[in-house]
Homo-oligomer: A and B are copies of this chain.
Amino acid sequence: MPSTTVRLDAPLDMHLHLRDGEMLHNIAKESAHTFSGAIIMPNLVPPVSSKEEVVAYKERIMEAIGEARFTPYMTLFFKPDYDREFLESVRDEITAIKLYPAGITTNSEGGVSGFDVEELRPALEAMSDLNIPLCVHGETNGFVMDREAEFVSIYEKLAEAFPRLKIIMEHITTKASVEALERFENLYATITLHHLIITLDDVAGGMLQPHLFCKPIAKRPEDREALLNVALAAHPKVMFGSDSAPHPRHAKEACGCAAGVFTAPIALQMLTELFETHNALDNLQAFLSGNAQKIYGITPLTKEVLLEKRPFTIPAEYNGVVPMYAGEEIAYSLKGVRHG
């Protein structure tokens, strides 16, 4: 009996942490092997915020991935004092700019601490004119289960004040964010693999599971349901973004564990299984590539990824980093990668 084979063209990961140094060398190839490209988050220490830094970081990434056919779509770490001249000078080196509220996640200490429209206007008007999308980590400093829902009013304020600016609500985790997508034409969203699968129950409902702990934290069942609905339908305003965020094992399993789930090497296999389970395989291509191409206006490198319905046991580690569901068996295996 022939097994089911699924073909994906030019998969894109529209939210990826590749880190730097040893970690970059340990994990970049995992994404570069199966994805055609990825939006690379700029929250290094110090954050990537100058033309020299973004060019140099891209070079380090290219070195780390070796011969792989992969585009790192670079981003800058948003600062309110970016002016038009600076943005024009860096436009060709970047695909987007990422805004972090100050102190909200790993290495975000230098982020934005107020959302005063007039203070942000010069930078965001220039980005609108230059057609640079603004990617946003949308959380307040409020109670952990409310942070994203509380941020929706800030998304709306920005969307209204800068109607030509493409605003990407990154790694959304709530029904409230899904609903905001419909209210403003210029709001878009990325959704991770893990937020389509887990809720807070999986993190803290049984034993505490550090390898499923991330920011934003996984929310309620009705939130996951809302995310699944738009992802499985490949709603044209949503894209896959893994938010794959490696930490060394000791930092995840220590007392006071760091936030981040590492999914890059298993994302395509698990998404295929998830979409198949929900009879939505026809929409996977759009969720994984087509929507992002339209929203960002990018044409990715050709790459054809074949997945086969054959059990695959997720390794315990990839170069010292524990992936989501380490040791567990999933339904799809990677069969091959072809360049066009």
Which residues in A have some Cβ–Cβ distance to B below 8 Å? 143-145, 199-201, 203-205, 207-211, 213, 217, 220-221, 252-259, 322
Contact = CB atoms under 8 A, between A and B. Distances in A.
A205 B144 contact: yes
Given A253-B253, A253-B254, A254-B253, A204 B217 contact: yes
A255 B326 CA distance: 12
B257 A208 contact: yes
A91 B252 CA distance: 49
A207 B256 contact: yes
Contacts of A253: 253-255
Contacts of A199: 143
Nearest to A222: B143
A200 B145 CA distance: 8
**Chain A, interface SS category:** loop
A65 to B, nearest CB: 29
B144 A259 contact: no
Contacts of A252: 255
Nearest to A207: B256
7 contacts: A143-B199, A145-B220, A207-B258, A208-B213, A208-B256, A209-B256, A255-B322
A71 to B, nearest CB: 33
Nearest to A221: B143
B204 A213 contact: yes
Contacts of A255: 209-211, 252-253, 322
B207 A208 contact: no
A194 to B, nearest CB: 15
Given A209-B256, A253-B253, A255-B211, A143 B204 contact: no
B207 A144 contact: no
Contacts of A211: 255
Rank and list the top 6 A-B pairs by shortest CB-CB distance, nearest first: A144-B205, A207-B256, A208-B257, A208-B213, A253-B255, A144-B201
